[in-house]
Amino acid sequence: MRIALFATCIVDAMYPRTARATVSILERLGHEVVFPSGQACCGQMHVNSGYFPEAVPVVRNHVEAFDPAGYDVAVAPSASCVGSVKHQHPMIARSCGDTALEAQAEAVGAKTYELSELLTDVLGITNAAEQLGSWFPHKVTYHPSCHGMRLLRLGDRQLNLLSSVGGIEMADLPEADQCCGFGGTFSMKNADVSSAMLADKTANITSTGASLCSGGDASCLLHIGGGLSREGASATTLHFAEILASTKDNPVSVTGEILVSGKATR
């Protein structure tokens, strides 16, 4: 298949290795990955903050960058951004009365998948160790993001893929379905509430004894990782794509570094 990568803002700016891991996984399966150069922000922050008119040109840019004629499917390693593309973009187009933009947004959204959704539902990956060669000999707990659970309804797709990685030890996270407190601009507008929610999340992660907490949204992992770091916790965070991309020949450490010949590289 010809697969268009939607990298997302935070992955592009903060976690480019997550994008590289996504490409590595898909190319390992024999697919061609392309990167539409016109892509930018999906506009989720604008929409969540109520700036609908300001979101219109952002949505228009996305649907033009991801013209469905140029690829078979599009993928992003982010449930929240895919949720925005699938659900918010058509809504924004309707809000400004642009029926043509709404139709374009619906077409792009229909071909856009979150990574675990694409791997499981489209590409038939059910065993990461056998089908991807994934190997990650560490104790891991898993945080399902709110948008993945409640907007995309991913269910256990990410968790099932992680659990099938060779050498991994999965630890159940208490109150896993509770929000980490990030919520985009929520963490800035409601800092005290956000911090209290984060404290609950990091305490539950620490209680598992896991080396790291994995998940499918870099934004949540950034928030959680920051909390763990400030507390001096030994655990850290890592996107599930990087765990799936790790193999015995090219292992990834708990900090996301690729270990080659005993040396860590980014």
Give the pTM: 0.92
Per-residue pLDDT of the chain (266 residues; tens, 9 = 90+): 999 999 999 999 999 999 999 999 999 999 999 999 999 999 998 998 899 999 999 999 999 999 999 999 999 999 999 999 999 999 999 999 999 999 999 999 999 999 999 999 999 999 999 999 999 999 999 999 998 888 889 999 999 999 999 999 999 999 999 999 887 777 778 788 989 999 999 999 999 999 999 999 999 999 999 999 999 999 999 999 999 999 999 998 887 776 554 455 55
Ranges of beta strands (E only) in the chain are 2-5, 32-34, 73-76, 112-114, 139-142, 169-171, 212-215, 236-239, 258-260, 263-265
User: What tokens appear for 114 in the block?
Assistant: 């979150």
